[in-house]
Chain A
Amino acid sequence: MKIKFPFTFNNKAASLSSLEARLDAALRPLQPREEFVQQLRNQLVGVPDRHKIALSPEKMRNGLLIAGAAVSALVVVAAGVRATITFLGALGVIQQVKKQANEASPLPVRVR
């Protein structure tokens, strides 16, 4: 049984690069079956201990630091917003009291 070469070249100069392109297309990387890869991994290494990875001291420390930083940032922002509102509120109340006081009892004019 004979197999003919699958193509011929008309242009000698371009033939090598064309051949490389055809090889590149034919010899493309394949993905092995995921099931096979996982089974062999389990056979060699054992089932990955996800809890162990999640609770590794380094990960835990980093997680706590990030969580602490996020909570602190939230507290600072909330305190800032609260202070601003309080300040503006107090300013408004003072101005309103002054206005009411002016309207109710204008300063007496001294007449000699």
Chain B
Amino acid sequence: MLLNLSDEEALALAAKGDANAFGVLYDRYVGRIYNYIYYRTGNQYDAEDLTSRVFIRAMKHIPNYTDRGVPFSAWLYRIAHNLVANWHRDNSRRQEIGLDDGIRVNSEIELPESALMRTEEETALLQVVRKLPEDRQELLILKFVEHLSNAEIGKIMGRTEGAVKSLYHRTLMSLREEAENGKNGIDIINGRSDFD
């Protein structure tokens, strides 16, 4: 049964062109990749678009996949990370053009229907998180949304477990500092936070 295959076994079959084996991998990871991208982009439409691109790219390149000791999930997250980085770069360009033309860019997070019941505090906290440096955002998403261990996060982010732990602690400390100061805010227009 394909469903009982490990990631490595399914990957080997998918690399040989077995579409059903790729389907198994897709079923396992589509939710996780979607969540990762959703929390990095903040809106459902771009999350769906980028999730599609991640899996299309993965399927295209899977015959060339080489096992370098990192799990398949890490490879998918790496593709997602690169696409999100490109998306942010393109978005910031568009934003610059838009502002020059006098068009205000909506900085609110668009939520899918399943997330409409968020409190104001949660929405504001998400906006704060989205202004963190990329690696810290990635860490928080992998930890709280995906519930991955520090070791698993380390494999995805290409860091040691100790480095992940340390980065997590620094992230929490900077967020706490921000909360304690209270008066500080985040400049959304310029995309800068006080703890960058």
Taking a contact as CB atoms closer than 8 A, the residue among A5, A20, A25, A32 that contacts B48 in the complex is A32
Answer whether residue A108 sits at the interface, using C-beta atoms and an 8 A cutoff. Answer: no
Does the CB pair A1–B140 fall under 8 Å? no
Does the CB pair A6–B48 fall under 8 Å? no
Does the CB pair B172–A19 fall under 8 Å? yes
The count of chain A contact residues (Cβ–Cβ below 8 Å) is 36
Does the CB pair A5–B107 fall under 8 Å? no
Instruction: Map CB proximity to B onto A26-42 as digits: 1 under 8 Å, 0 otherwise.
Output: 11111111001100110
**Using Cβ atoms and an 8 Å threshold, which residues of chain A touch B128?**
3, 5-6
The count of chain B contact residues (Cβ–Cβ below 8 Å) is 56
Does the CB pair A4–B51 fall under 8 Å? no
Instruction: Map CB proximity to A onto B171-186 as digits: 1 under 8 Å, 0 otherwise.
Output: 0110110111111111
Answer whether residue A112 sits at the interface, using C-beta atoms and an 8 A cutoff. Answer: no
Interface of B toward A, CB cutoff 8 Å: 1, 19-20, 22-23, 26-27, 30-31, 34-35, 38-39, 44, 47-48, 51-52, 55-56, 59, 107, 112, 114-115, 118, 120-122, 124-129, 140-141, 144-146, 172-173, 175-176, 178-189
Taking a contact as CB atoms closer than 8 A, the residue among A16, A24, A30 that contacts B144 in the complex is A24
Taking a contact as CB atoms closer than 8 A, the residue among B112, B182, B185 that contacts A33 in the complex is B112
